[in-house]
Chain A
Amino acid sequence: MSATQNTPLHQEVITTGGHNIVGGLSRVYHCNHYNAYLQMAVLLTQGMNNHNPERLLTDSVTSLVRLLKQRGYTEHDLLHEFSYNGFGFLQQLDDNTWETPNSHYGESLCVHGKPQKSCYFTSGYLQGLLEKTVIETECKILGAKTDKFIVLDEPLNVEHYLTGEFGLQTVIPERFAFEGCQTFATGVNEEQIIASFKTLPLYGKYGAGESGLIEIFGAVLTNHFADYYNRISYETYFAMRDMGILDEDSKEMFIQAGHICAFNTFGRIMTSSQWYDVVAPQCVSREDWLHGMVAIINILGWGIYRIEKIVPETEFVVRVYNSYEGVGFRRIYSRLNDKNISFLAMGTALGLVHLLWKVDIRDKPALTPEFYVNQFNNPNNSYSVEQTHAIAAGDEYDRFIVSK
């Protein structure tokens, strides 16, 4: 456990138990591909009775911004942090109009459907900042030059959802040093990798002329609110369940989001110059690449990943202590019996295995949508994933088995 202060932010970044906490809220790195896919999955429920996904996508961040304000954030802090976390550059044009000349959500979020206004997150962020209802009026996705937002003179009615008390686990076993862990012979030095990747500029720059985006590894990242993801994912999943949708279908949508995340983020990291400078020289086997990527995952704020078992091309078992999905679930909802519930981690564990044992990322394939459909996600030669332990269900950690 350590506290680090490697940021130009006014707020300290506290790294503890695998979480990166700013202003009391856990932050997690995710790429534009994941954000786009997840938002699309949430918006599948558009038009459903008593469920309003647009409001969900908007209001879920409003509540979090309010918490930051309660913890001393000023307007300047919030605007600065918007850019620092990679959401773009947010500026006021007049009393009732704001815009983002560059924004994460306004630029590359159209996935399968017809293009539509996409900056629900930015609207919600502004709502929290201004304590008024905000709607997006123009969006770059639809060809506008900037995303524009107007402030309505309407009171906000936003639910505070982080109501549960659930602390992070403080005693986490060291790598390879827990009961049931296989004996590994790997030259991959996790501490060295973490130290090296932590020096990368994983933040956006704030100010006129700056994009406020985090562009690295050929992807666009955000350092997002973990509980924003949790709220929008689980509310949508439960709404689908209540509507009688097959679990198989609804879970696939969210697990697929993680799988796409692994393909795009992990895949791009594993073909990056930084990877080849630091990690690849430590790797002899494909399984070493699994160890190397898990080291990097451990700086993303997703919790602490500990590999338990690897049988080459057959089985991969990993535990996640303080998984942000499990912890967030317990802070928002009651304990659950269903253990297959950490969708992002399920999808990324599966995707990590597919990157090494299904396709071979060491060959540096072009990570195109066509490659994803025809090779990476092709049902032939695919693995399956099962979650055997879940913090959401009261277990000490999340645990995933990826196997043939």
Chain B
Amino acid sequence: MPDKNIYVISTEALFKALNDKRKKHELPEIENSLVASKLGILFALKTNGLVNFRCEHVELNDSQLVVLQDILDQHFNAEMISEIRELISAQELLQKGIAANTRPSSSPEGIGFLSKLKGFLKVKATVQGSPA
């Protein structure tokens, strides 16, 4: 199941990456607290779930990562696919449940975050295809 994967992201690193990206495109910075509020609101509206971006870390599943990427693109004018990929460390990638462990990496069921973003995360095969 695609949403069995949980990715841990440092909010401080995420906000820094966002502002670096905006500055690169000559857009003004946005302060962290405002980014956190805006992300919290947009996440709740788009996923019907609460994620507190004021915490040091957030844990997001596949679908939520897709939403995060979409929000950053639409509401912060920052396409962040590669930056988010870098933020997700392999050590912090947790796996929940056992269903995903047995599914081949080439499974047509692979409709999660990784496949939706077309190779978003380089460790995809390790995570989804190789049981521990």
Which A residues are within 8 Å of any B CB, using their own CB?
44-45, 47-48, 112-115, 240, 243-246, 248-250, 252-253, 256, 369-370, 372-374, 377-379
Contacts and interface: CB of A to CB of B under 8 A. Distances in A.
Contacts of A245: 40-41, 44-45, 50
Contact of A252 (B33, B45, B50, B75): B33
23 contacts: A47-B46, A112-B30, A112-B38, A112-B75, A113-B74, A114-B74, A115-B77, A243-B44, A243-B48, A244-B44, A244-B48, A245-B40, A248-B37, A249-B37, A252-B37, A253-B41, A256-B34, A256-B37, A369-B29, A372-B31, A373-B28, A373-B31, A374-B29
B33 A379 contact: yes
Interface residues of B, number: 24
A44 B41 contact: yes
B29 A112 contact: no
The 4 A-B pairs of least Cβ separation, nearest first, read A369-B28, A252-B37, A249-B40, A249-B37
Interface string B28-58: 1111111011101110111010101000000
Given A244-B50, A378-B31, A253 B37 contact: yes
Nearest to B27: A112
A44 B45 contact: yes
A185 B86 CA distance: 58
Given A44-B41, A114-B74, A249-B41, A377 B31 contact: yes
A127 B12 CA distance: 45
B109 interface: no
Contact of A48 (B36, B45, B76): B45
Nearest to B78: A112
Contacts of B40: 245-246, 249
B92 interface: no
Contact of B34 (A47, A246, A250, A252): A252
A112 B46 contact: no
Contacts of A369: 28-29
B28 A114 contact: no
A248 B52 CA distance: 11
A44 B75 contact: yes
A221 B95 CA distance: 54
Contacts of A372: 31
A283 B111 CA distance: 66
Contacts of A44: 38, 41-42, 45, 75
